[in-house]
Structure 1
């Protein structure tokens, strides 16, 4: 069954509306008590300003010949921001998690590109032509896996396949399909398409409100490229997440919003829904915000013990201080959480979108007189993108958070 795109002008609102519908239909609970507990917790109040407004890997340590060149690289980084389900095997093979592996891969694309469209992997033609072998080389993964021979003891047999091969196939599809779309539409690269979209959004926003610009850019990205069409069906209901496209739009604001004059129009993004992946819903479950206890058994059994009073007492407290004895200790490799179906993943990702909407809405209603004596009146002004960035970054910021299981979905082009 094909999934229809949202109606024109309603891409942002459809993310919110369908996420709430899916979350409520699944009987996933989000209480004001749990929201208030998080917002007033030391885990939140003592780290929010430090980690919610940083660049999170978007400050690229490269010398760009032009702002358009940087925008093009940022756009491709957002397009390829996937492989979260391969976090554990990527750590084993590259020593990096999914985001850092993809980031290093995109750096490699930039550094190894030569002049001329065919050899420029960041051009439409180069994206269309890049080979599996080159992707694997830059990614630092093997295209083969080893297995025990069926009849000869002690003999291992190498064959094409395995997690590294799967990630390469996903990246190849995104690069080839996007390059072909750009080439057929007359664009030299993805950055050129994005610039045109930013200009159209800026023009449309005049007289209609600054929020219109992001709506226009989101709609253009999603309509044009399958790699940005992050949507699914849950019990026959459409749900729209558009994680990578929203992430790109906010990334443009982070990288170019403070430059004066800006080389191209920068959209207003503080109103955008969060960029939901596997980190946000998993962490919100562990922090007691997303309550699966009344949902169907297929969901309620996924994270046993998560959100319990005992675990929250530790997780919402200040981060444990590393002692001199433990500070040099080598980081433990991550552990996979439950493996989900595509539909289950969309349900939890939708719940995360709606949970963040409810968190920000609740923050706006908090009593200033209660917050000011604690120096916490700033909570009333938190934004959805900054909350997203806090959740994503705090999951790496604390060792006890890093150890929390995240759900796994492989072979997806969207996160």
Structure 2
């Protein structure tokens, strides 16, 4: 499958926005101003946004030896920030979702590394040693399924297989490929590549008067296949680049507030949202993205968007809203790659429109200052913050390393 890239780095963010709006409109997906305003003025949004939008989940309980050491870990978390399609089997096995399992994997890699040698699993050399069995061991998950013996009745055999084995293969594939690319190019770690890309972005932004974040993102997506999150639908490219955008903003969150940052910080204030399966699914349930007008999506989320259900979800949360967070999530509708891409693009465009309306709203005053990355964080975090939101179905796409 082709993963097209923008022709010029200085148009990268505009290409994400324009391609997302174009495919959303061609698919017949509706986003009405009154639905956006209903969300912005809802008790759910107003009572939770300022609290929940700061819950980024990037803080790791590790004692880093240097800023570069921490940058390497943040970069690895970002390039492995996928697996959403395996949310239900992961919860059944570990009681954790994809994001928390990836964090656990990175923690296990860090703790299991000696540093400065091939035993350092977070180095370019070490990443190449992360076979499927090693990844499964570090994640503490079972990748065997029981099958009846073909010749002996009543006897079962354990064989590699099942959804978690699929996920482990994807993770191992990204780690090994990334390590090989880094070592071939002379980089000892992913963090060292990212550091050079940050410095290059700072230099070029001064010389060419383009935003440093676009130069940084362009460097990432052209070098690493695992960051080339795009698709072609009806002969037209759609650019999303969720993980690359996430990494840029993660660096800003962690190091941008320091008095003297250890390396150049990208300006992520105008980034599009980092669209996965959570953002579009939640925006459908909250009545912002309307699928009833699209012939492609009329049967998806059949019960979502009904007026009474939307009103209940947007109501002020009660004490009961936050209980029962341990309930096993239910599997959402499984989509094709193209349909998943279209819905993710619709979420990118919807969030652009939400921010536009927020900045034109008089009350409350703080709405005029919210930015797209904060809206992204709110949608992603509030989906886990409330028990009734956690129960909402999210669409599923497996066999992808992009979200």
TM-score past 0.5 threshold: yes
Whole-angstrom distance in 2 between the partners of 1:335 and 1:397: 17
- 1:307-353 CA-to-partner distances (Å, cap 9, x unmatched) read 11110111000113139xx95x5721011100011111000000000
Corresponding residue of 2:279:
280
Q: Please report how far the alpha carbon of residue 165 of structure 1 lies from its aligned counterpart in structure 2 after TM superposition.
A: 1.0
Corresponding residue of 2:229:
230
Q: Please report how far the alpha carbon of residue 153 of structure 1 lies from its aligned counterpart in structure 2 after TM superposition.
A: 5.1
Q: How does 1:228-307 map to 2 (within 5 A)?
A: 228-296=227-295, 298-307=296-305
Whole-angstrom distance in 2 between the partners of 1:153 and 1:281: 47
Residue 315 (str. 1) matches residue 310 (str. 2): no
Residue 349 (str. 1) matches residue 344 (str. 2): yes
- 1:78-134 CA-to-partner distances (Å, cap 9, x unmatched) read 000111000010011112111001110111111101134311111101111222221
- 1:10-68 CA-to-partner distances (Å, cap 9, x unmatched) read 222111111011100000000100000000001101000001123x2101111000000
Q: How does 1:328-367 map to 2 (within 5 A)?
A: 331-366=326-361
Question: Any stretches of 5+ residues in structure 2 without a counterpart?
Answer: none
- 1:288-325 CA-to-partner distances (Å, cap 9, x unmatched) read 010001101x41111012111110111000113139xx
Whole-angstrom distance in 1 between the partners of 2:224 and 2:184: 12
Q: How does 1:191-230 map to 2 (within 5 A)?
A: 191-206=191-206, 212-230=211-229
Q: Is the 8 A contact 2:2 2:231 kept in 1?
A: no
Q: How does 1:6-405 map to 2 (within 5 A)?
A: 6-9=6-9, 10-54=11-55, 56-149=56-149, 154-206=154-206, 212-296=211-295, 298-322=296-320, 327=323, 331-366=326-361, 368=362, 371=363, 376-405=364-393
State the Cα RMSD in Å: 1.6
Whole-angstrom distance in 1 between the partners of 2:325 and 2:99: 20
- Classify the secondary structure of the residue corresponding to 1:332: coil
Whole-angstrom distance in 2 between the partners of 1:250 and 1:116: 28
Q: Please report how far the alpha carbon of residue 2 of structure 1 lies from its aligned counterpart in structure 2 after TM superposition.
A: 3.3
Whole-angstrom distance in 1 between the partners of 2:150 and 2:37: 57
Equivalenced residue count is 402
Q: TM-score, normalised by structure 1?
A: 0.94
Corresponding residue of 2:399:
411
Farther-moved stretch of structure 1 (138-147 vs 89-98):
138-147
Question: Any stretches of 5+ residues in structure 1 without a counterpart?
Answer: none
Whole-angstrom distance in 1 between the partners of 2:200 and 2:311: 49
Change (3 A) 1:85 1:3: closer
Change (3 A) 1:207 1:223: closer
Whole-angstrom distance in 2 between the partners of 1:3 and 1:121: 29
Whole-angstrom distance in 1 between the partners of 2:31 and 2:12: 24
